[in-house]
Structure 1
């Protein structure tokens, strides 16, 4: 894959709404944009935890044990639903807390279905000469996208005098995470049905 095509595909996929982006935007809206750089290492480590092993072993592992992908998707769906529930039941007094932690960002990003696409499809094999440059580009793009979502989160609170807007944002984020979780679960189920 050429560099322009790689950059475009990675950037568009990273920028699309998902569980990690939702949490980054919410963390910024709840606290401040400056929380995003503190959470960024957890996001990058989460992606790399999944992506690097997938580039080395993923294709062989999935072809030998196809249920591995199913297990990863199921774990992702369960985790994202858990996050959605936590956001929904949080009350006004909980809105400005720091419940979007580095640990939650790490687990969410590790289980993010996008990581499967990056590791199995978009990044070349680690033995390819362009692996390290493309991995570096991925890290740079992930950092840029985290900043974009953090900025979006901050902008939602410009001029807000009460916590009502933040509560609405939190509920919307919860609903979006439920949709993501159900989509991932449906994908896992649809891949399971031919096996039954």
Structure 2
């Protein structure tokens, strides 16, 4: 597989995982529902910080452990594939819980902790970002810059999605349609990760 092909697949994987409903995206949508788009944009740097700390921690931890346990990256990738399939199945059967957090405003601390503890951080560190990302600080900074450029419009989209749900002007825009579409994308991505773990 060529480097450009790997790079393209990595970008697609980042987009697929970021766009998938989860605790962080639910909070962003809930903030858009409660406070509107403009007031919610201040949460995006908080999300970036949460992912930055999470991905860096997992990535450097896995790199240091892989020296003594060379099969560890393959095992982690395989477990990530199983987790993603479970997540896809769960998403297919449930609906987005934006309304459950509608009554309380979404704070920066809550969003940071939700993002920091989000399993997506481990997915990015172990299965999406190249291992060379965690060799030195410039490599991580370059990869995280690309990640950030993809995250910002997706986060804006989730905030706008929440605001649209609150407006009631788009009755056909239903969270369950979004979740089922995302579940299918996740299932395909899980198969790809599982095959790479076994190769």
- Please classify the TM superposition score into its range, dividing by the shorter chain length: 0.5 to 0.7
Larger mean CA deviation between 22-31 and 145-154 belongs to 22-31
* Aligned mates of 1:181, 1:149 — CA distance in 2: 16
* Aligned mates of 1:175, 1:191 — CA distance in 2: 25
Figure out how many residues of one structure are paired with residues of the other and give that number.
Answer: 179
Shift of 1:75: 2.9
| Residue deviations 1:86-121 (CA, integer Å, cap 9, x gap) | 96163x73263659844443323224257423143x
* Aligned mates of 2:20, 2:73 — CA distance in 1: 31
Q: Find the counterpart in structure 1 of residue 36 from structure 2.
A: none
**Within 5 A, what are the aligned runs for 1:1-196?**
12-13=11-12, 16-18=15-17, 20-23=18-21, 27-31=27-31, 32-58=40-66, 61-63=69-71, 66-79=74-87, 81-82=89-90, 84=91, 88=95, 90=97, 93-94=99-100, 96=102, 98=106, 101-106=111-116, 107-112=118-123, 115-120=126-131, 123=132, 126=135, 131-156=136-161, 162-163=167-168, 165=170, 168=173, 170-187=175-192
**RMSD over aligned Cα atoms:** 4.3
Normalising by structure 1, report the TM-score. 0.62
SS at match of 1:88: coil
SS at match of 1:17: helix
Contact 1:87/1:171, CA 8 A, preserved across alignment: yes
Return 5+ residue gaps in structure 2 as ranges: 32-39
Q: Find the counterpart in structure 1 of residue 34 from structure 2.
A: none
Shift of 1:29: 3.6
Normalising by structure 2, report the TM-score. 0.61
Shift of 1:144: 2.9
| Residue deviations 1:39-91 (CA, integer Å, cap 9, x gap) | 22222222223322334444874547844432232234335655x2696163x
* Aligned mates of 2:58, 2:52 — CA distance in 1: 10
